Amino acid sequence: MTVGSDRLTDLFLGEEWSRARRAFILTVGFATLGVVLDYLVLLTKFDNEVLVALHAVFSLDGYLLSGHATGMLLVVSLAGLHAYLNEGYLPSILLGWSPVYGNVIWTIGSLTAIENYFLDPVAAFERTFPEAFVLATLGFLIGLGLRWVQKRRQSHTMPGSGSDELQPTE
C-alpha cells in the first residue's frame, strides 16, 4: 500500500520536495509582486501606462481569444510548467493562481474616486479562485500529459529496452 500512497503523495505534492518548496516560495513571491503592482496602480490612479499594462497582464478579465487573456495563459502556463517538472497538484494550483490573486487584492472603497483603498483578501479570493482553479487544473493536466509523453519516449529510446535492437534473420 505504500507504493500507492507514495504515488498519491507525489501526485498531490510533487516528486521532489525541494521543487515543491521552491514552488511555494514562488507562490508567495508572485502574490507579493501582484499586491505591490496593484497598490502602485491604485497609488498612481491608473496614470502610469507601464504599471497599467503589467496590471492587465496579470488579470483574468476577458475571453481567451481577446488581448486580455494573458492572465489566463499565465495561470495555465505556470501550473503546467510545475506539473511537467515535478507533478504536484497543490503547488501547481497555488503557483498558477498566485499572480492573479495578488493583482486584485486591493479594493477601492469609494465609488467617486480612487482615494480609499484597502486590502480585501476574501474578495480577491472570490474574484479569482474559481476561474484560476479551473485554468490551473487544465495547465496541470497539460503538464502531466507532456511529462508522461517525455517519460514514455525516454523509456523507448533507452539501451536495452529491446526497441532499438535488430533481430538477426536467418
Task: Give the model confidence (pLDDT) of 117-147 as tens digits.
Answer: 888 899 999 988 888 899 999 999 999 999 9
At 18-57, the pLDDT tens digits run: 999 999 999 999 999 999 999 999 899 889 999 998 888 8
Long-range contacts (CB closer than 8 Å, 24 or more residues apart) made by 55-61: 55/103, 58/34, 58/99, 58/100, 58/102, 58/103, 59/100, 59/103, 59/104, 60/100, 60/128, 60/131, 60/132, 60/135
